[in-house]
Amino acid sequence: MSQAVLAVVIPALNESRRLPALLADLSLAPAGLIHELVVVDGGSVDATPAVARLAGARLIRSEANRGRQLQVGIAATTAPWLLLLHADARLPLGWEETVMRAIKEPQASWYFDLGIASAGLCLRMLERAVALRSRWRQLPYGDQGLLVPRVLLERCGGIRPWPLMEDLDLIQRLRAEGPVRALGATIQVDGRRWRRHGVLGTAWRNAQLRRAWRKGSTPQELAQRYYG
């Protein structure tokens, strides 16, 4: 590849246990693919900043607000394609070839299928439901990772500095600019949310938050309910 085309932006907060694995996955990229690797730390009190620096990532500090962290990270990069990842994700083997194929279609945005790193039939059913929703409605969420051309991101107005719902808001606007397609590979995310609240409890909680957002609750109010 004659020119590095990819900027990877990772918002993080107290992810020193999980971030190293993601950074190791990214290190498998061939020379000339990743132009910029940015970790935007939201005020971690663990070793997250040190982990980012040791891996060769550019570390930027921001308030603990995922939308704002993504916004800051994107603004610090210049590459024509952006790969936005949550810090607790694991990329699939061969992810780099998958991404290189996708960036040949600059009029589309792309996402990974969701895999949850925890055992259980209910979680496998949830993964299937997420895959169906993502394809039928072109509505993936941020934990699935998002590969997007910078020109499309700028055209739709970019990411809003919201602490919650920033991913759903962005995808809805991206759909108006071009197709949102599956990469055909699965990203693995940590299963702690589902272990803590249960599969049905987590699904119900998320559905209630989306419903409140559609009815006019602010992202700040929703974040207080979600994180508080």
Q: Which domains does the chain have, with CATH numbers?
A: 6-227 (3.90.550.10)
pLDDT > 90 in the chain, percent: 79
Q: Report d(CA 102, CA 111) in Å as an integer.
A: 10
Q: pLDDT at residue 64 above 90?
A: yes
Q: Global pTM?
A: 0.94
Q: pLDDT at residue 2 above 70?
A: no
- Bigger pLDDT: 92 vs 32: 92
Given pLDDT bands bounded at 50, 70 and 90, which one contains residue 198?
Answer: confident
Q: pLDDT at residue 3 above 80?
A: no
